[in-house]
Structure 1
Amino acid sequence: MMRSLWTAASGMTGQQFNIDTIANNLSNVNTTGFKKNRIDFEDLLYQTSRIAGTPATELTTVPVGVQVGHGTRVAATQKLHTQGALQATDNVSDLAIQGEGFFRVLLIDGTYGYTRDGSFKIDSQGQFVNSNGYRLMPDLTLPEGFVRDSVSISQDGRVTTKVAGSDDPIEVGQLELYRFVNPAGLQAVGENLYKVSNASGDAIGSRPGFDGMGKTIHKFLEMSNVSVVKEMVNMIVAQRAYELNSKAIQTSDSMLGIANNLKR
């Protein structure tokens, strides 16, 4: 059987995975804080018929060998943590990070999740929570009787507000951001959340604007970093690559058919 059948089939399988990734990127083009995925491919093992450097005569060696590859496979899917565009919302509980860092939220199982999605809400207890009710950490609770429109968050994470009956703002909390040595190694778990993994390293916390952290931008949200134009171009390239691999299978089948029809 011709090895090209299986080699081309591996290419088609890889491009199917590529299209799946592109589709996920495009489906999240309006997801707050979403970071696009990129696929890295690698070639498979090689069958060596002649090794480079093999002696040809007593005085000469073969300059190049004879090898044939067996196709491709997906080596990694990498999150690209580039900055997304900032969009003004005029909502007092919205936050964006300009630069490096993640917000930390407390999950239902007691572990921490990390996110770039700053579309927080203020619950009935005056606490900042995300869309699924996970509390922002360190815990940030506004005082009873706070004036909603007076809530202000500075670029270094200081949270101030006014209380009914008083004209003087009071400081009620300090935000912290968290960064990682290898953010691409974080485990995406859905709900716009990431979890720490052995590849990402431990979370490093600090105030916004200090120790390499980004700044917090109040009443803004960070949008997805997906470029629709680039993804559409990637989709066209993946489609053509899929077609070319299918043509290789058809050609191999045709050659097998010719060989099968040989007569003495």
Structure 2
Amino acid sequence: MRALHTAATGMMAQELNVQVISNNIANMRTTGYKRQRAEFQDLLYEHVKRVGTQTSEQGNILPAGIELGSGVKTVGTPRLMTQGPITTTGKETDVAIRGEGLFPITLPDGRTAYTRDGSFAIDATGRLVTAQGNLVQPTITVPANSTGLSVNVQGQVFVTPAGTTTPTQIGQIQLAVFINKSGLQGIGDNLFLETPSSGTPQLGTPSTLGYGSLLQNSLEQANVEAVSEISDLIAAQRAYEMNAKVVSAADQMLQSTTGMMR
């Protein structure tokens, strides 16, 4: 019976929907996380009677045909790259992006990744790195025994060298923007990779046209809203239950048909 297969596609779609929602909820406290949303489309139709076909020799046209759908499919789980709330941390190496852009990061294999997570640190050689130890691009090295690390809204990094009282610029943080930032590929560790869908990165200076500004001593939190996710979860659960009810009803109909043949 066709209804069994159709309802099964609905159950599988809602199962995936719940998985996406659960991942959003799990990452509610993940710095710079961007929530995902499951998107669906209907499957092919069987046209028993095509709308608009001629129904008589006098030229009558069928005003409404008979189309039997075959269910639903998942077409994507795009990320919603909206701004998350910014919280103050008080740590001088924490940097939040307010607006467009991502931090370029060098991976151990030499590839460039991108992140909204600005929870940086200083490694043993004085270089600015991520929580996993990956280098921030371009490389910024803090001199030994310097104090007063500061980052302004334009991404300029200053320190006060030992034996002086005058701040000195030691580097410039850059941001990368993409024509389709939702097309970036997530690889975990709060990192994204460039893809053919995202387009090539355009590097620029923070606080210039098209680029966000930086905020030191702060971090961007996940853009996940608990109330919205819970309501979506309830809706997905109810949709799954209704598709399961269709399977049960189709089974009862088949059982009745089988009983008539005995």
For the aligned pair, the TM-score class normalised by the smaller chain equals over 0.9
User: What do the CA deviations read for 1:85-117 (whole angstroms, capped 9, x no partner)?
Assistant: 001011010000000000011001101010000
- For 1:60 and 1:44, the matched residues in 2 are separated by 30
SS at match of 1:194: strand
Structure 2 counterpart of 1:227: 225
1:205 aligned partner, one-letter code: L
Q: CA deviation at 1:124?
A: 1.4
**Which runs of no fewer than 5 residues in structure 1 stay unpaired?**
none
Q: Please say if 1:75 is aligned against 2:75.
A: yes
User: What do the CA deviations read for 1:13-58 (whole angstroms, capped 9, x no partner)?
Assistant: 0011011111100110000000000000000000110111111122
- For 2:192 and 2:261, the matched residues in 1 are separated by 63
1:24 aligned partner, one-letter code: N
Structure 1 counterpart of 2:42: 43
Q: CA deviation at 1:231?
A: 0.6
Q: Size of the alignment, in residue pairs?
A: 261
1:80-119 aligned at under 5 Å gives the runs 80-119=80-119
Q: CA deviation at 1:263?
A: 5.4
1:167 aligned partner, one-letter code: T
Structure 2 counterpart of 1:54: 53
Structure 2 counterpart of 1:144: 144
SS at match of 1:78: coil
2:205 aligned partner, one-letter code: R
Alignment partner of 1:241 out of 239, 242, 248: 239
Identity %: 39
User: What do the CA deviations read for 1:129-178 (whole angstroms, capped 9, x no partner)?
Assistant: 0011100001111122211xx11100011111111221111111111000
Q: CA deviation at 1:119?
A: 0.2
User: What do the CA deviations read for 1:199-227 (whole angstroms, capped 9, x no partner)?
Assistant: 00000000001130000111100000011
1:75 aligned partner, one-letter code: V
TM-score, length basis structure 2: 0.98
Q: Please say if 1:17 is aligned against 2:23.
A: no
Q: CA deviation at 1:240?
A: 0.4
TM-score, length basis structure 1: 0.97
Q: CA deviation at 1:59?
A: 2.6
SS at match of 2:260: coil
Q: Please say if 1:189 is aligned against 2:187.
A: yes
Runs of 4+ in 1 over 6 A off after TM superposition: none
- For 1:113 and 1:44, the matched residues in 2 are separated by 36
SS at match of 2:14: helix
**Which runs of no fewer than 5 residues in structure 2 stay unpaired?**
none
1:184 aligned partner, one-letter code: S
- For 1:59 and 1:262, the matched residues in 2 are separated by 43
Structure 2 counterpart of 1:5: 4
Structure 1 counterpart of 2:25: 26
Structure 2 counterpart of 1:259: 257
Alignment partner of 1:164 out of 162, 165, 187: 162
